[in-house]
């Protein structure tokens, strides 16, 4: 009798870029709803980790707004369309650890995120 082959989830469920810890507050706006605060955990070129008060199903579309700090002080307001990739309850975090994938990023925003990740 042969054993079944186990496969890992495809790349669409895992970020392809390195992450940088990023603890802040962001606003997540679902279609036709008021923005709700979420806590950020990390950021990459392709997405944002947040802790949300509700479990968002994979594929949920939203807009996220957050401020990336600048090394010289102040920050840059970022607003991007996102899609939920995963969401799992975390008692330690007090909410649902949620992976948000950026849908489209302009070259200027991509540079801003890259500078933050690279510590510039």
Residue 14: per-residue pLDDT: 53
Global confidence as pTM? 0.84
Residue 79 reports pLDDT greater than 60 = yes
> If we measure between CA atoms, which residue out of 32, 11, 42, 60 comes closest to residue 113?
42
Residue 108: per-residue pLDDT: 96
The pLDDT tens digits for 14-38 are 556 788 999 999 999 999 899 999 9
Residue 107 reports pLDDT greater than 60 = yes
> If we measure between CA atoms, which residue out of 79, 101, 71 comes closest to residue 26?
79
Residue 10 reports pLDDT greater than 80 = no
Q: What is the CATH number of domain 17-117?
A: 2.40.10.220
The pLDDT tens digits for 82-103 are 999 999 999 999 999 999 999 9
Residue 4: per-residue pLDDT: 40
Residue 119: per-residue pLDDT: 86
Transcribe the chain into DSSP letters.
-PPPPP-PPPGGGS-SS--EEEEEEEEEEETTS--EEEEEEEE-SSEEEEEESS-PPTT-EEEEEEEEEPTTSSEEEEEEEEEEEEEEEETTTTEEEEEEEES---HHHHHHHHHHHTT-
Residue 11: per-residue pLDDT: 43
Assign 71 a pLDDT band (cuts: 50, 70, 90): confident
């Amino acid at each position: 009798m042969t054993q079944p082959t186990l496969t890992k989830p495809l790349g669409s469920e895992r970020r392809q870029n390195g992450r940088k810890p990023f603890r802040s507050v962001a606003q997540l706006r679902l279609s036709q709803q008021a923005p709700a605060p979420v806590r950020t955990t990390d950021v990459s070129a392709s997405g944002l980790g947040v802790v949300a008060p509700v479990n968002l199903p994979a594929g949920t579309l939203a807009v996220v707004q957050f401020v990336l700090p600048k090394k010289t002080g102040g920050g840059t307001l970022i607003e991007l369309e996102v899609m939920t990739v995963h969401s799992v309850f975390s008692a330690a975090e007090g909410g649902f650890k949620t992976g948000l994938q950026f849908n489209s990023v302009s070259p200027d925003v991509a540079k801003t995120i890259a500078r933050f990740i690279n510590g510039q």
